[in-house]
Amino acid sequence: MHPISREVIGTTIGEHTFEYTWRDMVLYALGVGAKENEMEYLYEKSLKAIPTFGAVPYWGTFGITPYRAIPRNVVISLNLNLEGSLHMSHELILHKPIPPMGATFTFDDVVADIFDRGGKGAVIRSELTAYDTDGEKVFTNIGDTYFRDYFAPDSEIYPRSEVVFPNRAPDFMERDLIPSTQNLLYRLSGDTNLLHVDSETAAQAGFPKPNMQGLCTLGYACRMSINFLFPKEPERMKRIGAQMRNPLFPGTEMELQLWKIAEYRAYFRLVDLSTGKPALEKGFIEWR
């Protein structure tokens, strides 16, 4: 194993621009499974943004200047060995509602912290915050990437999740089918990683076929949770996050299991019904 110096904290990709229109917003909604009874996400007449649209520039290509040929956040720029690495958790904070009809944001992506996993690798945390043309924060992404072949001397142990599911049945359960081409539809929002489309690349990574994008499954969980907790009012969401546990493949039926634990807070997991394993675990959502 190789050490990662804490001196990389503060590494940045520099200022970028993210620009989108209402068509990008609708395409994203279709990419995370929006249905015909969710026209608030699909028709520009009274369009609303699914909040996890804010995760698009974290791992995206389209609409971003300077141009990115492949998804590439600041952690990738450290030039570490990517074998055995994975995007293990993600959190999105909404400082204000995302304009649904289009906008231009500026953002920077910065290495925020490093954690050790007690001899089981290291985790690098990055933060991407987007600002509107008035200089106000719109959303912040906090992503944790695991690196198997490294350790982090002089760093804290990776913190445990604050989420503990209640010892009772979920307050809400809903099933949904990930269509067999959903990975291809979602990649049109910018996550063009070959792992999610190319069979040879997937096989080299140890997968039987291309799998779903982790941020796509987070978008599914966000949309389905909103429908139960504060339907038709996605602008009320403040925060969402989850751990990415097991790959989910196109053509799979899955189930959202959600517990409301306080007036404006809930926990969730997203389970692959073909295996019984969670694709997303230790999920949380907060709203106003």
Question: Residues 90-114: pLDDT tens digits?
Answer: 999 999 999 999 999 999 999 999 9
Residue pointed to by tokens 């991407």? 128
What does the pLDDT read at residue 147?
95
Give 41-78 as a 3 state SS string: HCCHHHCCCCHHHHHHHHHCCCCEECCCCCCCCCCHHH
What does the pLDDT read at residue 1?
86
Q: What is the band of 43 on the pLDDT scale with cuts at 50, 70, 90? A: very high
In this prediction, residues 129-158 reach a mean pLDDT of 96
- DSSP code for 97: P
- DSSP code for 98: P
What does the pLDDT read at residue 229?
98
Report whether 222 contacts 267 (CB < 8 A).
no
In this prediction, residues 192-202 reach a mean pLDDT of 96
CATH superfamily, domain at 2-287: Hotdog Thioesterase (3.10.129.10)
Q: Is the peptide bond before 66 cis (omega within 30 degrees of 0)?
A: yes
What does the pLDDT read at residue 83?
86
In this prediction, residues 34-47 reach a mean pLDDT of 97
At 288, list the tokens.
């106003």
What does the pLDDT read at residue 84?
84
Q: Which residues contact 150 (CB under 8 A, 6 or more apart)?
A: 1, 2, 3, 4, 80, 81, 121, 122
pLDDT exceeds cutoff 90 at 82: no
Q: How many CB atoms lie within 10 A of CB 214?
A: 26
* Mean predicted lDDT score pLDDT of the chain: 96
Q: Report the percentage of the chain scoring pLDDT > 70.
A: 100
Please state at what angle helix 22-31 crosses helix 214-229, rounded to 10 degrees.
90
Q: What is the band of 274 on the pLDDT scale with cuts at 50, 70, 90? A: very high
Instruction: Locate the domains of the chain by residue range.
Output: 2-287
At 232, list the tokens.
């038709």
